[in-house]
Amino acid sequence: MKLNIKTFIVLSFTSILSKGYSQDSIIQYEALRFKDELGFQKPYRTLKTTFKSLEGFQTYYPGTKITLEKILRYHLYTAIHINQKDNKLLSMDLTEFQLKNFTSEEELTKETVRLIGEMFFGSNELKLIPIQN
């Protein structure tokens, strides 16, 4: 009988902890491509954002017929982590760039694209995206 009570207490405590954690959990969307040939610690970038879902990233990037999500995750080798405390971009060499608290996913994506375009490898990636001016 003691074993059952101990088991119940442990399971209850575990359940409480997991519920508390899941409310604040981070949802991660992996980059759709990786740049393994560069030899960096991570073969992709990471965009951490305060936005709660990818819904707003489903609109087209200005001058393209490509969604904001695809520009980031496919063309610019970037994972997206939503539900974060603040907005920041981590480059492949793990350099961290703080970003403003934007009110739209488009503004955040445009700033992220600008930053990546200023990076050595990112500038070449950006040239391959069919953006019409």
pLDDT digits (tens, 9 = 90+) for 83-109: 999 999 999 999 999 999 999 999 999
What is the arithmetic mean of pLDDT over 15-41? 71
Residue that has been written with the tokens 């069919």 in this structure: 130
Write down the pLDDT at residue 8.
Answer: 43
Q: Which residues contact 51 (CB under 8 A, 6 or more apart)?
A: 57, 82, 83, 105, 108
- pLDDT the model gives residue 24: 56
* Calpha distance 42→121 (Å, rounded): 14
Range of the domain at 78: 26-127
What pTM was computed for the model? 0.79
Q: What is the number of structural domains in the chain? A: 1
Residue 105 counted as domain residue: yes
Distance between CA atoms of 10 and 120, rounded to whole angstroms? 52
- Average the pLDDT over 27-50 and give the result: 93
Assess if residue 13 is contained within a domain.
no
Per the DSSP assignment, residues forming a β-bridge with 47 are 80, 89
Say which residue, 130 or 104, is predicted with more confidence: 104
Positive or negative, the CA dihedral 48, 44, 115, 58 is negative
Average the pLDDT over 100-128 and give the result.
95
Residue 11 lies in a domain: no
Is the residue at 100 inside a domain?
Answer: yes
Closest among 3, 99, 120, 104 to 46, alpha carbons compared? 99
